[in-house]
A and B are shown apart, each in its own frame.
Chain A
Amino acid sequence: MDKKPAEFDLDALFAEARGQAADPSPELMARVMADAIAMQPAPMRAAPPRRTSRLRQFLNAVGGWPAVAGLATAGVAGLWIGVNPPDAVATTAETLLGTSTDLYLVDLMPGYDLTFAEG
């Protein structure tokens, strides 16, 4: 390899150095790996599903005991109104639903009359 002083090829030397990189010792690799394991956060695991009773599932669905209290109150109130309706409720029901049988006389399918009449 003949080189004049002015042509001293530093880049060739760098290229050679790149190919000659010192390898880390197996001991260093092992030490780094031991650190990695020691420092590694524990794996994140999904919490196991808890067994829940049917009552608990129902409570979860409706929103817990406070919701059950509301349901009980509404149930008792509904039963009481049914057994002993106040006048206002009875009157309103008659007004809305009527007291006659008119509703049953509504001819929902008048076409059948014609069909029957024609035989």
Chain B
Amino acid sequence: MPFDAYADVSDEALLVLYANGDGDAARSLNVRMTPRAFGQAMRMLGDRAEAEDIAQEAMLRLWKIAPDWRQGEAKVTTWLYRVVANLCTDRLRRSRSVDLDSVPEPEDDRPDVAGEMQQAARMTALQDALAQLPERQRQAVVLRHIEGLGNPEIAEILEISTEAVESLTARGKRALTAILAGRREELGYTDD
């Protein structure tokens, strides 16, 4: 874990320091924010190279907006999650409309899954199942259950009401359960 010289400084204050030319603030923001942006994009897209592109683009937008950041309006993380969510949406829609064949298929029947460690298999299965959810449900489920955010913040990120977030996550969980139920044995969940 790289050393965070500003461990006690808020994200917003770091952004101001960055805008004032502080190099350590840039490093701290990178350490704090890039893994979040990358993690969210990775869950949404399921592709490491694409997730890295999205994370870099989202961070680039953060660097650009830093001098004009309006303090007190939104948390930096909320802003970043929203940018990543929008970039992922754009990426998913573009790849759908341009070339359906280039979209990685959900890997339902990977021959080597059974031989992998069960934990890795479970993560792969979850990722595959997430990929089958409609995009908005996937966004909501990833933010709520994997990133661990609260519904009000997710509502702000996705620019919808809290009730809509609850509805999306509930439907997403039901769909995931249905998808994963068929793969219980692969996942290490076996009947008595």
Contact = CB atoms under 8 A, between A and B. Distances in A.
Interface of A: 1-5, 8-11, 13-14, 16-18, 20-25, 27-29, 31-33, 35-37, 39-44
B177 interface: yes
Given A22-B38, A28-B34, 15 more contacts: A2-B190, A5-B191, A10-B176, A13-B187, A20-B123, A23-B35, A24-B55, A28-B56, A32-B34, A33-B30, A36-B30, A39-B60, A40-B19, A41-B21, A42-B21
Contacts, number: 117
Contacts of A13: 122, 126, 180, 187
Contacts of A36: 18, 26-27, 29-30, 59, 63
Contacts of B180: 8, 10, 13
Contact of A40 (B18, B39, B43, B119): B18
Contacts of B38: 22-24, 28
B145 interface: yes
B64 interface: yes
Interface in B123-157: 123, 126, 145-146, 148
Contact of B146 (A14, A24, A31, A42): A14
Contacts of B52: 24-25, 27-28
Given A2-B191, A16-B122, A17-B146, A32 B30 contact: yes
Contacts of B66: 39, 41
Contacts of B2: 29
A21 B123 CA distance: 10
A73 to B, nearest CB: 49
B189 interface: yes
B188 A33 contact: no
Interface residues of B, number: 48
B83 interface: no
14 contacts: A1-B189, A17-B145, A17-B146, A22-B51, A23-B35, A24-B38, A28-B52, A31-B56, A33-B26, A36-B63, A41-B19, A41-B20, A41-B67, A43-B20
B171 interface: no
Interface in B110-126: 119, 122-123, 126
A31 B37 CA distance: 14
Given A5-B184, A21-B39, A22-B38, A35 B20 contact: no
Nearest to B48: A22
A88 B2 CA distance: 88
B54 to A, nearest CB: 10
Given A10-B176, A39-B63, A40-B63, A2 B192 contact: yes
A40 B26 contact: yes
A44 B59 contact: no
A4 B34 CA distance: 39
B119 A16 contact: yes
Contact of A18 (B30, B122, B148, B181): B148
